Amino acid sequence: MSKKYIATPSRTKEILNKYKFSFKKSLGQNFLVDVNVLENIIKHAGIDEEAGAIEIGPGMGALTEQLAIHSDKVVAFEIDQRLLPILKDTLHDYSNVEIIHQDILEADVEAVIRTHFKPNQPIHVVANLPYYITTPILMKLVRDRLPVTSLTVMIQKEVAERMAAKPNSKSYGSLTIAVQYYTEAKVVMTVPKSVFMPQPNVDSSILQLVIRDKPPVEVVDEDFFFELVQASFAQRRKTLRNNLSNFFKEQYTKDEITAILESTGIDGSRRGESLDMEEFALLANTFYKSK
């Protein structure tokens, strides 16, 4: 049975030859050629016959096919026009697949969900994301507060580790806080580069983001909170006091910054990577109120 699946080296080569398709480096095209990996992704994503699935960058339809088999409905966004006839061919047996030719960063995903899925249907984003644009895509999807349950995505291993990191680790940074403010993040599996065609230069991981009902901390101003977090990591080796002095140099003297830090009970000689989200929220709220 698995011989017929798109996600095999022989079937992928056959399709490539048939359409004389050449990979575009600029679009980060690496196609999966291992059905077992795809089935693992589906399992981790919690896809069942009740669920709807949104895919980004279906390529030749390897993951799309598995989503179509296991879910109620699949909507896939593909930016590369050359792939549209290929997808029409490879997925013609699956009536529950809708391909939308659009850049996900420009799409009104909420309107797409209203149009293509049933009311209150559990919806999961499942995708093999292009490495060069992983972070903007994920941040758009979580910040737009879409009615989706989870995002299970294959991304560069190093980026997955940063998004799922804990304080006091070298992967922990402003991206960690941004992602974990909206979601619960964990790396569920590592994927070797050998299961892709062409092979990328790096290993991949499957990252799962479960959307939170509400953020784990209360902040007075979200934009300011994220700005302060970024400022705290501006130069990783510098102390919190130094990074914040630099960030707030137009507004506060060093002594004023020291006084605000002291009022929170957070030691200014610590580095950003040692603070958890609660401490960042306390800092942001205190600085915001002292403006």
Residue ranges of the binding site for S-adenosyl-L-methionine = 30, 32, 57, 78, 103, 128
Q: What does the block give as tokens for 207?
A: 């990252």
Radius of gyration of the chain (CA): 22
Kindly give, in sequence order, each residue whose CB lies less than 8 Å from that of residue 242, ignoring residues fewer than 6 positions away.
235
Q: What is the DSSP string of the chain?
A: -GGGSSSSHHHHHHHHHHHT----GGGT--EE--HHHHHHHHHHHT--TT-EEEEE--TTTHHHHHHHHHSSEEEEE---GGGHHHHHHHTTT-TTEEEE-S-GGGS-HHHHHHHHS-TT--EEEEEE--GGGHHHHHHHHHHTT-S-SEEEEEEEHHHHHHHT--TTSTT-SHHHHHHHHHEEEEEEEEE-GGGEES--SS-EEEEEEEEPSS-SS--S-HHHHHHHHHHHTSSTTS-HHHHHHHHTTTT--HHHHHHHHHHHT--TTS-GGG--HHHHHHHHHHHHHT-
Q: Which residues are annotated as a binding site?
A: 30, 32, 57, 78, 103, 128
